[in-house]
Structure 1
């Protein structure tokens, strides 16, 4: 009986970890598409913009 509870607990922890990883990835993609990463972009030529961010 104790082993079954332990097994179910391990499965629940594994499922929670997978869902947390998926949620973090979706949040990361959402933040990037919202424009949070625009300050780190460079022009297509590869030259820096002189300190200005567009």
Structure 2
């Protein structure tokens, strides 16, 4: 592996950026479930999760 790529992969900044992006992914999903509660209940029912309200809150 070239040294430049190895330095990028080992940098602390890259790992912080990756963690922030994963955090944004989960936060946006949570906010979508809060603001569109009926649709998220339908999503839980479609997945076969019962009780749907419990899995939606969890």
Within a 5 Å distance, the mapping from 1:27-42 to structure 2 comes to 27-35=28-36, 36-41=39-44
Query: Which has the greater radius of gyration?
Result: 1
- Length, aligned pairs only: 38
Name structure 2 gaps, 5 residues minimum: 51-58
Distance change (3 Å), C-alpha of 1:17 and 1:41: closer
Aligned-residue CA RMSD (Å):
2.7
- Name the TM-score, length of structure 1 as normaliser: 0.51
Name structure 1 gaps, 5 residues minimum: 47-54
Q: More helix per residue: 1 or 2?
A: 2
